[in-house]
A and B are shown apart, each in its own frame.
Chain A
Amino acid sequence: MSQADLAVGGHTPAMEPSPFAIPAKKLAMWLFIISDIMTFAACLVAYGFLRNATPDWPRPFHSSTVISVMVMTFILVSSSLTILLGVRAAKTDDRPTAFRWTFITVAGGVIFVLLHIRDWAGMIGQGVTLFKNPWGTSLFGAAYFSVTGLELLHVIAGLIALIIVGLGYRRCRYSSDDIENCGLFWQFINIVWMFVVPLVYLLNVAN
């Protein structure tokens, strides 16, 4: 029986209440984030497993890399705040302000991606590839590029989503809920980076 049939005769459509009293799209985003936690957790645990089981694991990161990573962290954490401001503006239906904050977030994300690629170029310049590196332990390159590459892929996906939804929101194609869902994903990316930094970079700082 369709909802239209149920509505015949002036009756309210019989709708099942939304689980946990949140919109379906938001619940779907949370479920996606939980499943993505599995992906990242598996990846980081696999990295930690290799790191722990390999006595001569390379420590190639010098203070210049640490400074670069801290700048990237500053940008990503700041973009968490800017997307939060965007979501708040969207909830009050202030479309121009929400759009502005969303695209400030996009700008931060683009800078993060560029710095990340610069970081990768530096590593590749030192001779690190997926299967070999100058320090011997062949798995280092594969582990490093896998973990940071998965994070980079998520940032790029988040940027595409923010651009599409941000532009659509300004043209009234998308609602504040869609901005909020993109915001949830962006915050999740920030959380993952908080674990990538110590595990991949800071624990492998050259002495």
Chain B
Amino acid sequence: MSAAEKPSGLGKYLIIYLCMMAIPALEVVIAYQNIAGSQKLLGMLSLAIIEALLVVLFFMHLAAEKRSFVLFVAVFTLFVLATINYGWTDSFRLLVGAPFAK
């Protein structure tokens, strides 16, 4: 929030807060569903990403910042997350006992 920016009404933040309360409840519902683990993971992670976006954009006021700054944060964060996830395939390799590439 920039210093010059006048705080707007609370309504928007209360709606976001209620969404943030509903999302964990939905995750619990998914946790007790009789579905595959991968589907549970996908559902829960999707909800967690939605919640994280709500917090970053509105509670951390990133949506109100300059577009160049939003891009700066988004590009760095997504690059880091993408590169860290590069190693996932090896965990499946361990699971099936396949040898590592030489």
Contact = CB atoms under 8 A, between A and B. Distances in A.
Interface residues of B, number: 51
Contact of B60 (A20, A92, A187): A187
B91 A52 contact: yes
Interface in A158-207: 176-177, 180, 184, 187-188, 190-191, 194-195, 197-199, 202-203, 205
A70 B20 CA distance: 12
Contact of B55 (A91, A177, A191, A197): A191
Contacts of A80: 17, 20, 55, 59
Given A38-B84, A195-B48, A202 B31 contact: yes
B45 to A, nearest CB: 7
Contacts of B41: 198, 203
A52 B92 contact: yes
Contacts of A190: 55, 59
Interface residues of A, number: 46
B37 interface: yes
22 contacts: A20-B66, A49-B87, A52-B91, A55-B95, A66-B28, A70-B25, A77-B24, A81-B13, A81-B14, A87-B1, A88-B1, A88-B7, A91-B5, A190-B59, A191-B56, A194-B24, A194-B52, A195-B48, A197-B27, A198-B48, A202-B44, A205-B31
